[in-house]
Structure 1
Amino acid sequence: MKVVVIGGTGLIGSKLVAKLNEHGHEAVPAAPNTGVNTLTGEGLAEVLDGASVVVDVSNSPSFADDAVMEFFRISTTNLLKAEADAGVTHHVALSVVGTERLQESGYFRAKQAQEGLIKDSGIPYSIVHATQFFEFMKGIADSATDGDTVRLAPIKIRPVYSDDVAAVVGRTAVGTPVNGVVEVAGPDVFQLDELIRKGLAAKNDPRTVVTDEHAPYFGAELQETTLLPGPDAHIAETRFADWLAQQR
């Protein structure tokens, strides 16, 4: 089965391509550095020729409200049109647990818009909602940093290893379209402020994490369970503590 992975040279995409190829599929990475640009349409028709499945794990280079909305609207529209022309029978997209509850954030409004385009496309689809990757903890800290202080709300979070996400996305891609959402999360529940405090300490990062109930998360104020998946989520095996120990 030919599977084209949009964003196939990034963190999740490269892992996904490797896993699919290991299982005997023809996984093709597609990204600007491979000659495929979803914003301009360059290379899409060629790379999608003969593809049964397209997996979109691409992300916007900018998180600014207007830029991220433009990225997901244009790239998704171009991609879905090219898929329809090529006869693709399964579109898979990676998104974020809680997207529909985070609409104060420009980034998550853009992700919601992306999901809406997919659902309205007429192409059978599966959307994988993942919790925050272990590898993204520094990014969360950076987004909440003011000087030497990191302000974070004490909300619950269930982070997940990117390898485990790639495995779920891969199984979803070669399976039957669910025409809905599949969730994946890590095995442990943390408070966001405590999790980032642990992560920074392990890296000898001198920043101080301050607990602030009203601290925004990428522009959105969170409720305690905003970032948690539902009861039917796939629970991955890799624990944050084990992953963190391997990074030292």
Structure 2
Amino acid sequence: MKIVVIGGTGLIGSKVVAKLRQQGHQVIAASPDTGINTITGAGLAEAMNGTDVVVDLANSPSFEDQAVMEFFQTAGRNLLGAEINAGVKHHVALSIVGTNLMQNIGYMRAKKVQEDLIKQSGVPYTIVRSTQFLEFLKGIADQATVGNEVHLSDVRFQPIAAEDVATFVAKYALEAPINGITEIAGPERFALYEIVARYLRHTNDQRKVLSDGKPTYYGGEISHSALVPAGKAEFGTIDFEEWWSKQLQKA
């Protein structure tokens, strides 16, 4: 099977590419660095030739509201148009749990537009909504830091390891399209401030984590349950302590 992984050199993409190649599939790791650009359209038609499945893991280089919206609109239209022309049989996209519940946040509005473009394209699809990655805990702490304090809320949070995300994405890529949304999450649920505080302790970071009680996330107010699956979901197997031990092994 020929599979094109958009964003195939990134955190999740590189893992997905490796897993699919290990199973004997012909996999193209697509990114601007490899000559395939979803924004300009360069290399897309050639990459799609004979392709069975496209896995879209691309992310905007900017999180500014207008820039991220333009990225997902342009990339989505170019990519899906090339897939339609080539007769691609399955489009798999990675999205975010709670996207539809957080439309007051610019990034989530852009992800919802991406999802809608996929649904309306006519290409058979599977949208995989994931909870936040354990790998992003530092970034969450950094964006909430004021002085030596990290101000975070007690919203429910169920982070998943990138390795588990890649395993799920690779699995869905080889299955039949569901023409719908499926959700994945980590095996443990926390209050957001609690897991960030644990992470900072493990890294000997002296910042103090404070729960200010405001249910906010990247500048937008959200419900306490927006970041965790509402119903049926598949759960990864790597918990925080196992994930952390693997980070130490890489160091």
Regarding TM over 0.5, the answer is yes
SS in 2 for 1:120: helix
Structure 2 CA distance for aligned equivalents of residues 135 and 88 of structure 1: 32
Could you say which residue in structure 2 is the equivalent of 1:108? 108
Structure 2 CA distance for aligned equivalents of residues 204 and 48 of structure 1: 47
User: Contact (CA 8 Å) 2:155, 2:215: kept in 1 or not?
Assistant: no
* Equivalent AA in structure 2 for residue 39 of structure 1: I
Could you say which residue in structure 2 is the equivalent of 1:156? 156
User: Contact (CA 8 Å) 1:99, 1:112: kept in 2 or not?
Assistant: yes
5+ unaligned residues in a row in structure 2: which ranges?
none
What are the superposed Cα offsets for residues 138-162 of structure 1, whole Å, 9 maximum, x if unpaired?
1111221222221111011111111
Could you say which residue in structure 2 is the equivalent of 1:69? 69
Could you say which residue in structure 2 is the equivalent of 1:35? 35
Structure 2 CA distance for aligned equivalents of residues 207 and 49 of structure 1: 51
Structure 2 CA distance for aligned equivalents of residues 90 and 219 of structure 1: 35
* Equivalent AA in structure 1 for residue 147 of structure 2: G
> Normalised by the size of structure 1, how large is the TM-score?
0.97
* Equivalent AA in structure 2 for residue 41 of structure 1: G
Could you say which residue in structure 2 is the equivalent of 1:10? 10
Identity, % of aligned positions: 52
Aligned Cα root-mean-square deviation (Å): 1.0
SS in 2 for 1:104: coil
* Equivalent AA in structure 2 for residue 10 of structure 1: G
Structure 1 window deviating more from structure 2 (141-150 vs 33-42): it is 141-150
Could you say which residue in structure 2 is the equivalent of 1:120? 120
User: Contact (CA 8 Å) 1:151, 1:215: kept in 2 or not?
Assistant: no
Could you say which residue in structure 2 is the equivalent of 1:46? 46
Shift of 1:215: 5.3
SS in 2 for 1:28: strand
Structure 1 window deviating more from structure 2 (235-244 vs 15-24): it is 235-244
User: Contact (CA 8 Å) 1:184, 1:233: kept in 2 or not?
Assistant: yes
Shift of 1:231: 3.0
What are the superposed Cα offsets for residues 77-111 of structure 1, whole Å, 9 maximum, x if unpaired?
10000111111011110001111111111000000
Structure 2 CA distance for aligned equivalents of residues 219 and 114 of structure 1: 21
Shift of 1:191: 0.7
Structure 2 CA distance for aligned equivalents of residues 147 and 104 of structure 1: 27
> Normalised by the size of structure 2, how large is the TM-score?
0.96
SS in 2 for 1:12: helix
Could you say which residue in structure 1 is the equivalent of 2:87? 87
SS in 2 for 1:197: helix
For these two proteins, the number of residue pairs brought into alignment is 248
SS in 1 for 2:5: strand
Structure 2 CA distance for aligned equivalents of residues 133 and 155 of structure 1: 16
Is residue 204 of structure 1 aligned with residue 219 of structure 2?
no
Structure 1 CA distance for aligned equivalents of residues 234 and 86 of structure 2: 31
User: Contact (CA 8 Å) 2:154, 2:215: kept in 1 or not?
Assistant: no
Could you say which residue in structure 1 is the equivalent of 2:180? 180
